[in-house]
Amino acid sequence: MAPTSDPQTMQRSYLWQDGTLRSWLLTTDHKRIALLYMASITAFFVLGSLGAALIRLHLISPTGAILSDETYSRMFTMHGIVMVWLFLVPSIPVTLGNFLVPLMLGAPDLAFPRLNLISWYLFVMAGALVVYGLFRGGLETGWTFYTPLSTDYTQGRVLPVVAGVFLSGFSSIATGVNFIISIHQLRAPGLTWYRLPLMLWALYATSVIFVLATPVLSITLVLLAFEHVFHVGVFDPALGGDPLLFQHLFWFYSHPAVYIMILPGMGVVSEVVSTFCHKPVFGYRFVAWSSISIAAIGFLVWGHHMFVAGTSLYAAVVFSMLSFLVSVPSAIKVFNWLGTMHGGAIRLDAPMLYALGFIGLFTVGGLTGLFLASLASDVHLTQTYFVVAHFHYIMVGGMVSAYFAGLHYWWPKITGRMYPEMWGRTAAALLFFGFNLTFFPQFLLGYEGMPRRYATYPAQFQVLNVLSSAGASILALAYILPLIYFIWSLFRGARATANPWQATGLEWRTSSPPPTENFIEPPVVTHDAYDYAALDHPAPAPQAEPPHV
């Protein structure tokens, strides 16, 4: 057993070994970079949430309460762009992923530590460009930048924002390359592929999407900027181009990217569910390969965003069927988590509550995806609040819940302190309640035909809109609470032991917080992931066992 986090462990840990600002800004330690990222994406999350708050406040009244129509468009654009590219796409991979990949592999760092630091600087520059563009007027195109609105008709600041999103792509690619190569090259002795924690399978699949989808977005944005700056035809039909080509290119990235925004969450939930049921994940190999197949099939379904855009019926039918197919591996995961819980002694600590929230909300989001993937119902539902509710159930209900599950779960490892459990559970319950109150009415609104992206709406929709806005304020509280008690716990939280949850991963074998080199003794793996029997009844001298590969 590694020592508990007494003052000595703290002294030796990555957090305190060298406390100068310079050592933080030039660090190549993946754990510190994870914290740098965490600070940055938290700032962007706050910014994006302020946008959401203004949107919901505005929609309390059918005529729009506070913003002009023009400002409203700029507000939802800013909300979408900041949340997607500066928060959700990086979220779990760059924070928990950066922190955990080497620890879970039993390695001292990622394969390319300096590249990791560069990726953070790229991300910060990207964020600065986007924020500059947004505060110098913003833009009204929505997060999807559809042409020719974004190239020829916009009066907003397209160029800095697009340049920022472009740069952030390279930061994603760097992270993806780093994770994939690390998982291939840096596994500890005995850590075979089928012994990897499912979090790593999920991050591997995510990284494949980072590496193979992001460059397509990059080139699309270059083409967009070219058309915008020189007013020459690439996508603009008036200049001979084809606007559908933009949509194909954009969604070829952005559909896989929605899986960037869910796969890491699935990885976190697999870890949490297993730990708090004290049982191995049911059907490990199915869960592992379902991540890979989600990433693979995810590349083949982008056309479902263009059913009413004038693509051919045959293409639409094929894309519809493929979209149904991509939900199969997602369903496998949900059933396997349920199978894991079945008969387990479930502990309902905060991480588990968040994970349970994830499972429920993700299921609703996934099932409503099938409504949208069916051609006939999509014609009715597309461009309505139904779509908005669908993806918020997955991205906010799912991914953000998973991010919080992971933060609570690994907080003791990251900081050496426990968060206050009661407050954690309260926040998790508030989040579930507030989330549903915010977004469930939006399904009804969309079903009744309220279009998205309008600043005003017919009076008959007001009740549901007010409910939604009320929910949003509860949701805001559920996000502010952890911010407060996490910071509080840094100073006052109980000191954490090395393995406070009786979990099996390698990261729990080192002290909390870990030393700079991660492991004093390089670990050797002799068991499958989630082998609780071995954890509860350790062999007399585990180190003496020969490493087998």
Partner 1 sequence: MSEHLAPYDSPRHRDETAIAGMWLFLASEILLFGGLFLIFVVYSHTRAAGWALGVRHTNLMIGGINTALLLTSSMAYTLGVDAARNENARGVILAGLSAAGLGVTFLCLKGWEWHTELADHLFPGPGFALGGPQAGGAQLFYSFYFLSTALHGLHMLVGIGLIGWICLRTYRGRSAPLIAMPVEVVGLYWSFVDLVWVLLFPVLYLIGRV
Q: Given the rule CB under 5 A, which residues bind Cu ion?
A: 255
Q: Which is nearer to ligand HEM, 13 or 320 (CB)?
A: 320
Contact partner, 413, from partner 1, ligand HEM, Cu ion, none, Cβ < 5-8 Å per class: none
Please tell me the distance from the alpha carbon of residue 377 to that of residue 371, in angstroms, as a whole number.
6
Nearest approach in angstroms of CB 394 to Cu ion is 10
Contact partner, 215, from Cu ion, partner 1, ligand HEM, none, Cβ < 5-8 Å per class: partner 1
Tokens for 193, please give them. Answer: 């592929």
Contact partner, 443, from partner 1, ligand HEM, Cu ion, none, Cβ < 5-8 Å per class: none
Q: Residue with the closest Cβ to Cu ion?
A: 255
Binding residues among 281-320 for ligand HEM as defined by CB under 6 A: 304-305
Please tell me the distance from the alpha carbon of residue 105 to that of residue 454, in angstroms, as a whole number.
48
Nearest approach in angstroms of CB 121 to partner 1 is 14
198-230 helix and 284-298 helix, angle to the nearest 10 degrees: 10
Nearest-Å Rg of the Cα atoms of the chain is: 23
Does 437 participate in binding ligand HEM (rule CB under 6 A)? no
If 0-12 CB within 10 Å is exposed, 13-18 middle and 19+ buried, where does residue 425 land?
middle
Nearest approach in angstroms of CB 260 to ligand HEM is 8
Would you tell me how many other CB atoms lie within 10 Å of the CB of residue 88?
26
Using alpha carbons, select from 240, 49, 228 the residue that is nearest to residue 141.
Answer: 228
Please tell me the distance from the alpha carbon of residue 42 to that of residue 120, in angstroms, as a whole number.
14
Does 261 participate in binding ligand HEM (rule CB under 6 A)? yes
Please tell me the distance from the alpha carbon of residue 389 to that of residue 386, in angstroms, as a whole number.
5
Q: Which is nearer to ligand HEM, 393 or 508 (CB)?
A: 393
Contacts of 373 (CB under 8 A, 6+ apart): 301, 304, 320, 323, 324, 327
Does 443 participate in binding ligand HEM (rule CB under 6 A)? no
Nearest approach in angstroms of CB 101 to ligand HEM is 21
Selected from 171, 323, 504, 526, the binder of ligand HEM by CB under 6 A is: 323
Contact partner, 241, from ligand HEM, Cu ion, partner 1, none, Cβ < 5-8 Å per class: partner 1
Q: Which is nearer to ligand HEM, 323 or 526 (CB)?
A: 323
Would you tell me how many other CB atoms lie within 10 Å of the CB of residue 174?
21
Q: List the end-to-end C-alpha distance of the chain, in Å, as a whole number.
A: 24
Does 370 participate in binding ligand HEM (rule CB under 6 A)? yes
Q: Which is nearer to partner 1, 259 or 385 (CB)?
A: 259
Tell me the number of residues near ligand HEM by CB under 6 A. Answer: 23
Please tell me the distance from the alpha carbon of residue 397 to that of residue 483, in angstroms, as a whole number.
18
Q: Are 395 and 258 in contact (CB under 8 A)?
A: yes
Contact partner, 74, from ligand HEM, partner 1, Cu ion, none, Cβ < 5-8 Å per class: none
Binding mask of the shown chain, residues 204 to 243, with x at each position contacting ligand HEM by CB under 6 A:
----------------------------------------
Tracing tokens 């703290």 back to the chain, one arrives at: 10
Contact partner, 140, from ligand HEM, partner 1, Cu ion, none, Cβ < 5-8 Å per class: none
DSSP tag of 193: G
Please tell me the distance from the alpha carbon of residue 130 to that of residue 66, in angstroms, as a whole number.
24
Q: Where are the beta strands (DSSP E) in 105-158?
A: none
Q: Which is nearer to Cu ion, 144 or 172 (CB)?
A: 144
Contact partner, 548, from ligand HEM, partner 1, Cu ion, none, Cβ < 5-8 Å per class: none
Query: Footprint of partner 1 on this chain (CB under 8 A)?
Result: 17-18, 23, 26-30, 102, 107-113, 115, 173, 176-178, 180-182, 184-186, 211-216, 218-220, 222-223, 226-227, 230-234, 239-242, 245, 248-249, 252, 516-517
Does 372 participate in binding ligand HEM (rule CB under 6 A)? yes
Does 402 participate in binding ligand HEM (rule CB under 6 A)? no
Does 178 participate in binding ligand HEM (rule CB under 6 A)? no
Q: Are 26 and 117 in contact (CB under 8 A)?
A: yes
Q: What are phi and psi of 495, to 5 degrees?
A: -70, 140
Peptide bond into 513 cis (omega under 30): yes
In this structure, which amino acid lies at residue 307?
A: F
If 0-12 CB within 10 Å is exposed, 13-18 middle and 19+ buried, where does residue 492 land?
exposed
Q: Are 256 and 295 in contact (CB under 8 A)?
A: yes
Does 330 participate in binding ligand HEM (rule CB under 6 A)? yes
Q: Which stretch binds ligand HEM (CB under 6 A): 205-213, 238-246, 258-266, 529-537?
A: 258-266
Would you tell me how many other CB atoms lie within 10 Å of the CB of residue 440?
17
Binding mask of the shown chain, residues 118 to 157, with x at each position contacting ligand HEM by CB under 6 A:
--------------------------x-------------
Q: Which is nearer to partner 1, 517 or 528 (CB)?
A: 517
Instruction: Give the residues lining the site for ligand HEM (CB under 6 A).
Output: 144, 258-259, 261-262, 304-305, 323, 326-327, 330, 366, 369-370, 372-373, 378, 382, 387, 390-391, 394-395
